[in-house]
Structure formats: structure tokens, C-alpha cells
Amino acid sequence: MESALRLRTFTEEEYLDLERKAKFKSEFIEGQIYAMAGASPTHALITANVIANLVLHLRGNPCRVYSNDLKFRIGRAGNYYYPDLTVVCGQLQ
């Protein structure tokens, strides 16, 4: 007999509380928490090069480039991500 694995669903508040206390970063997507894996040297180099080029391209523009250390809440569902990089034009909310 097969049994379905049921994953616990977390609330946004539970995730944020766990994230504050954690020693590692995790993303929160539709009630599930996913630990972030480290990047390969190639991935990190590509990300750094893209950030450097974007900073130069956006010079004199109100847009800002942020690295993967800044967590973003996206959408009404309250999903949280650590994108490799993010460009924000305007105020952070």
C-alpha cells in the first residue's frame, strides 16, 4: 500500500521567525521552506559580472542593483526569494 507524503505547510510569520534565527538562508514558496544551496564558482562569477555591468549601465539612473543577500517578498501569496540579483527602480517597500 502506498502512502502519500504530506509536507507541513508553514505560515509566512512562521517562516520569517525561523529565518531570523537560522544560520542559513531559505526561500519560502507557497507554504514550503527551501534551504538555499551554495553557488558554484562559475555561477558566482557570472552573477558578479552581470551585477558589475548593470551598475555601470544604470549609472545616473534612479535604479539600484542588489545582490543575493537581499530577500524579496513577491506576490500576494507572500513568497520570499533570494534572487541572484535584483534591479529596483524606486523605493524598496
Give the pTM.
0.80
Domains of the chain, residue spans? 12-89
Per-block mean pLDDT, blocks of 10 residues, the chain (93 long): 75 95 94 93 96 96 93 87 94 81
The Cα 26–Cα 16 span in angstroms is: 10
| Amino acid letter for position 47 | T
Does 3.90.1570.10 match the CATH number of domain 12-89?
yes
For 82-93, the DSSP string reads --SEEEEES---
Q: Residue type at 72?
A: F
